[in-house]
Amino acid sequence: MTDRKVQIIPSRDGGHTFQPCRERELGEQGQYRTRVRETRFGQAEQFVLKLRITSSCKLNLIGAVMDAEVGQ
């Protein structure tokens, strides 16, 4: 079992206040193709995500994708 985790902490007001974190597994060392996916953050005009790594491992964030829709 791994202790390498990422905490995803969303804010819907531009980073002034943050919601409770969501914790996801990063995978073991050497698993280079591990992806972390999270959905259902709700809606906001000024959306910010804070990422926190819970172990002292080296991490390279290669990319991030957000699929957003314009509300009414």
Q: What is the pLDDT of residue 71?
A: 65
Instruction: Using a pLDDT cut of 70, give the percent of the chain over it.
Output: 93
pTM, 2 dp? 0.71
Q: To the nearest whole number, what is the mean pLDDT of the chain?
A: 82
Total number of domains in the chain: 1
Which long-range contacts does 26-34 make (Cβ < 8 Å, 24+ apart)? 26/2, 26/53, 26/57, 26/59, 27/2, 28/2, 28/4, 29/4, 29/57
Contact 18, 10 (CB under 8 A): yes
Tens-digit pLDDT profile for residues 16-43: 999 999 998 887 877 777 788 888 888 8
Both structure tokens of 65: 């994708």
**Residue range(s) defining the domain that contains residue 50:** 1-72
